[in-house]
Amino acid sequence: MMFDGDFDDAPSPEPWSTTGLIIIGISLLIGAVMVAQSMLTTKTAEPDQTDAPQTDTRQTHTPQTEASKRPAACTVLVVYDGDTLLCDMDGNGKKSGEYEKVRLLGIDSPEMHYSKKNTTGHDEPFAQAASSALNTLATGQTLRLEYDRQGKDRYGRTLAFVYPNNNPDVSLNEQMLAQGMARSLFLGANTRHKHRFETVEAQARHEKKGLWH
């Protein structure tokens, strides 16, 4: 059986028209542009975090000591000895107002055991001289109190470096050391000015002042 001519009658697929190819090409191009724009927008909105500096946004809290909350200025009501004052904290000049007993930080002067209440006590050598020296330095002055880490001692006294307004850069503490009316003494956590005070004391010793005479 012959099949000549049978395949000549079967329909053949038509080739793609030029117009169709152009339309497809344009569609692909538009799609590629849209994808590229989307990727660019995403990258702009979310920068590469590996290159960005890392910043710790957590807040740090420095606890405030009771000493740092107290008034930083006062005037003298009473000089007890060479390293202890009673300070008027509210400016009314009376013990009936706000006042604090202030222990000068970083120094230790001779103790005064004699008082109106204890007439049998005996002062340590230079105790009266040290008390008089501090009285001369402090009386009539507005005093600026500088606190260290520990605000009070075991007796409840305020611990401070005390600066007079007539010599605001040199504390009464240091001036007492320079006159040889006290020795340097630092206890516990309060160590500010330690090296300086030891140097001043050494100079007073060398010059044989006060206690070192």
Domain that holds residue 117: 66-212
pLDDT at 98: 85
Determine the Cα–Cα distance for residues 134 and 99; give it in Å rounded to an integer: 18
Phi, psi values for residue 63, rounded to 5°: -60, 140
Name the amino acid, one letter, at 46. Answer: E
How many distinct helices (H) and strands (E) make up the chain? 5, 7
Cβ proximity of 124 and 112 under 8 Å: yes
Determine the Cα–Cα distance for residues 200 and 178; give it in Å rounded to an integer: 6
Question: How many CB atoms within 10 Å of residue 23?
Answer: 11
Q: How many CA atoms lie within 13 A of 92 on its CB side?
A: 7
pLDDT at 40: 57
Task: List the CATH number of the domain containing 187.
Answer: 2.40.50.90
Count the domains in the chain.
Answer: 1
Cα 55 to Cα 44, 45, 52, 94, distances in angstroms: 20, 19, 9, 53
In a domain, 47, yes or no: no
Cβ proximity of 35 and 42 under 8 Å: no
Cβ proximity of 152 and 80 under 8 Å: no
In a domain, 52, yes or no: no
Residues in the chain predicted with pLDDT less than 50, given as ranges, are 1-13, 45, 47, 49-68
In a domain, 35, yes or no: no
- Looking at the DSSP bridge assignments, the partners of residue 163 are 144
What is the per-residue pLDDT across 184-196, written as a single tens digit (0 to 9) for each? Answer: 999 889 999 999 9
pLDDT at 27: 66
Q: Is 158 helix (H, G, I), strand (E, B) or coil?
A: strand
What is the per-residue pLDDT across 63-99, written as a single tens digit (0 to 9) for each? Answer: 344 444 555 889 999 999 999 999 998 877 777 678 8
- Looking at the DSSP bridge assignments, the partners of residue 158 are 102, 152
pLDDT at 73: 87
